Chains A and B, each alone.
Chain A
Amino acid sequence: MSTRFIGTSPNRVGGFGRVTGLQEYVADIRLPDVLEAKLVTLDCARARIVSIDKSVAEKVPGVRLVMTAADLPKPMPRFGPQLEDRPVLAVGETKYHGDPVAIVAAETKDSAEEAARLVRVEFEELPAVFTVAAALDPNAPLVQDPSLRPKDPLASTNVLREHRVGWGDVDAAHADCVVENAYSFPMVTHFAIEPHAFMAAPEGDGIAIWSSIQHPNWLQKIMSKLLELPLAKVRVYAPDPGGGFGGKQHTKYEPLVAFAALKVGRPVRLILTLDETFQAVRRAACEIRVRTGFSADGKLVFQDVKADYLIGAYCDIADRVVGKGSYPAAGPYNVPAVRILARSILSHTTPSTAFRGFGNPQVNWAVESNIDEGARALGIDRLEIRLRNLARKGDAFIPFDTPSDGNWDQAVRRAAELIGWDKPLGPGRGRGIAVGIKSGPTTGLSYSTVRLLADGSVVVFAGTSDMGQGARTVFAQIAAEELGAPLDAITIVMGDTAIVPYDQQTSASRSTVLMGNSVLMACRSIQSQIRAMAARLDGLDESKITVERGVVRLPDRELTILEVLKPGLGKLGGELIGNGEARKDAEPDHPLGGAPAFFEFNCTAIEAEVDHGTGDVTIVRHVTVSDVGKALNPLQVRMQDEGAAIQGLGHTLMEHYIFDDSGRIRNLGAIDYRIPTSMDLPLEMLSETIENGDGPGPYGSKGMSEGALLCVSAAVAAAVRDATGIAIRDLPLTPERVWRALQEPVEQAGIGRNAR
């Protein structure tokens, strides 16, 4: 069966708006009556709020509201996707540098800024914890009030939760070679080019909220509960975000803005500065200790992983990140004995949240680096050792769970081929290879509605958030394929909870699979209505007619869908409506709440050159191969993989928060927080996909877009080691850090030393 749209790369739906500047992001939408808001924060991490004097601020001309915790309901309303621990405004105490204590709403940005400067907060800095060690100290101040989790034995510690996964008996396992090292993964931030933006407007007996949110329905649910309004009276508009990467998944300041809007009776808009986004969202840092046991022939005997994730002052979705991210930490390998202990450690820092990779990059960094070292210790080729252990399709590499769903070795061999693994290396160069795996969604629910209009054009309602990954285009391609409509006659409607049916969330690379299947189902429903129509028109039995890919096949001829639709609708006209539902129900007995719908698998291979004098690492060639089932839009797939790879190079080579001793972020903003520019790219990037049609999504597709980030660090560090002989176990590999490591003597396999 040939396809007309699937597997092609039509121009992005929504591309026109992006290249003309007509696309409206939240900050571009200004309601006529809107007040501009500004947050008031303290130059301090944790502090006791002694008093707030708003009298001077309130007198600034144009100021309509200065709101503090005192103006909000008591007890302070709290929210959060996992724990309802985050207050709408800090009450009594700020818990991290940037935790807002007040919000100002004024007629102009100038007045709001001025008034925010004039809010006088008397505060007292309190002892706080900013590192794993400090948080775990028995005398450490508690980040969270123990009363928030009364039945939890860990409530009197800064350990929010422990996640244990395992099988076999690690302690009884016999290994010929054991590699044990400690690694660290830094605190990094999303740095979407669009800072978070929020707006709320009272609307009759309800409220309208605009947000750069990735999960509009989840936001709606939280707002409905906080404001004690029925869901139907909370309308969330979610324009396409200007980059999300997970940092815009969950509710942040929408409640604050909503309460402000309701209090003042007018729309209120809050646009964060870039600096404020660094204070609002980040990835969990992590300290990982890995013991890997190998037999003499390089087979993995056991994996013993301890990962302490440093999450922030409020849970957000951070604990889920820890649990889900650490779950496949043993890697895409067949390992007879595994023990994983991952802990969410609270700290007085920016709340960590979802970030592309969702907890996997941190453990991957450690586990893959250990395998690299094991190979060296055993004298086995580092590619070969992976092929020897890689799970084959159908292997239950995590017992009783979703088995391997891809020919992963194919991706590895292809990556090795593309990097020229067996070719001689130039002087000063090294190669590294690594694999990464991430679990797809474990539960899910995506509704969609497709309307086939009288002239054959189509409207698709799908609640996915298109933040650049190209969801709109994919759904348009599916509708075009199934209904035979030209792509430019398809409108995709997203981002309005009053119009678009429910979608659980846009995360875990799920949307092509879940929403895609939902749209497919809706199209199939329309197809069956067309079939019934054709049967009626021709006086035939439905069983004699098939409708597939826009073509209606009758016993004696073929028609397009439109050729049936027009006469079928008749004089009154009208339309056909199809609904789709893709559901993945929870499995309460599963440690993750459900088995993964698919896995994202990626192999990354790097050739790097290291300047021994300066520590500069140049990526000469970056190869990334992902197992995607079917690339519905190959160009978009390539862009996601290359984009993820470049983002991975960011935390590998240059990104990290720098704190002072009081927990204040020193490198707020773009000058001292470095992300890759167009001049920081690999000299050559090769990205390919493996497509075996073995995914659960439409046409055999799997989800993708996070895979190519997962193992970048391990591959780069392996290449650096290959080039220099030194192992570095702390990211990022900045020039200074590489230089420092080069000054130390080359070490043997064993316990690694943490560089500063």
Chain B
Amino acid sequence: MSDTGNTLPIEITVNGRRRALEVAVHHTLLDVLRDDLELTGTKECCLVGECGACTVMVNGRIVDSCLMLAVEADGAEIVTVEGLARDGQLSPLQQAFLDKGAAQCGFCTPGQLIAAQALLAGNPHPSVDEVQEGLAGNLCRCGCYFQITEAVLAVAEGEHR
């Protein structure tokens, strides 16, 4: 039953960079991002798909990477928080989060940013309700929700080009 040696090769594109690696079949995408690729921006918390701290984009859709096996991501395009800034420039959302104070302890922030990025990609002018529903899968214990919503709306309104 404990066959810890079972691995498979996969190819994933992470933040625009193609990576080929051998992964244990029972390791999640979260494990592989953090431990194999050393992209520790994506966080581990509840491991049951409730808190969203592990949120990444897979082929343009947000998922809880703790509930996805790395092997399932073979061939996929992944975006993590490390991929949001371009050429050293923060994305409009990242800048908005800073300007609106949408991060306190910061642990939920990577997941919030990815979820917000996907929300705006699908709905460039969301209402407050739509923002709150779109980010409901990202828990913030510090209680930054109002500031996060403000940041997302600010970007939607073009405050941060």
Contact = CB atoms under 8 A, between A and B. Distances in A.
In the complex they form, whether A and B have CB atoms below 8 Å apart is answered with: yes
B160 to A, nearest CB: 12
**Majority SS of interface residues in chain A?**
loop
Contact of B2 (A114, A639, A646, A685): A114
B45 interface: yes
A294 B1 CA distance: 70
A193 B146 contact: no
Contact of A677 (B2, B41, B131, B136): B136
A110 B81 CA distance: 26
B59 interface: no
B90 A243 contact: no
B47 A273 contact: yes
Contacts of B94: 19-20
Contacts of A647: 141, 143
Given A110-B4, A193-B45, A642-B143, A678 B98 contact: no
Contacts of B43: 25, 27, 193-194, 242
Contacts of A114: 2, 4
A420 interface: no
A194 B45 contact: yes
Nearest to A27: B44
A675 B139 contact: yes
A23 interface: yes
Given A23-B106, A678-B135, A243 B141 contact: yes
Interface size class of B (residues with CB under 8 A): 35 or more
Given A21-B41, A636-B101, A642 B113 contact: no
Interface residues on chain A, size class: 35 or more
B13 interface: no
B124 to A, nearest CB: 19
A334 interface: no
B104 A193 contact: no
Nearest to B147: A639
A670 B149 contact: no
A5 B103 CA distance: 20
Contact of A194 (B105, B136, B145): B105
Contacts of A111: 4
B50 A195 contact: no
B45 A11 contact: no
B65 interface: no
Main SS at interface, chain B: loop
Contact of A240 (B48, B53, B105, B109): B105
A428 interface: no
Nearest to B110: A21
A15 B110 CA distance: 12
B8 to A, nearest CB: 15
B97 to A, nearest CB: 5
Interface in A188-240: 190-195, 240
A18 interface: yes
Interface in A14-42: 14-25, 27-28
B159 interface: no
B82 A20 contact: yes
Interface in B76-94: 80-82, 84-85, 90, 94
Contacts of B135: 678
A110 B3 CA distance: 10
Interface stretch (A466-474, A509-517, A586-594): A466-474
B20 interface: no
A635 interface: yes
Contact of A193 (B82, B98, B132, B140): B140
Contacts of B104: 243, 468-470, 639-640, 643
The 8 A-B pairs of least Cβ separation, nearest first, read A21-B41, A18-B106, A242-B107, A468-B105, A643-B143, A468-B104, A646-B143, A670-B50
Given A110-B26, A469-B104, A670-B139, 4 more contacts: A19-B98, A20-B81, A21-B40, A643-B104
19 contacts: A12-B103, A14-B106, A15-B106, A17-B106, A21-B39, A21-B41, A190-B141, A192-B107, A193-B43, A193-B51, A242-B43, A243-B105, A274-B45, A640-B104, A642-B144, A647-B143, A678-B136, A678-B149, A681-B146
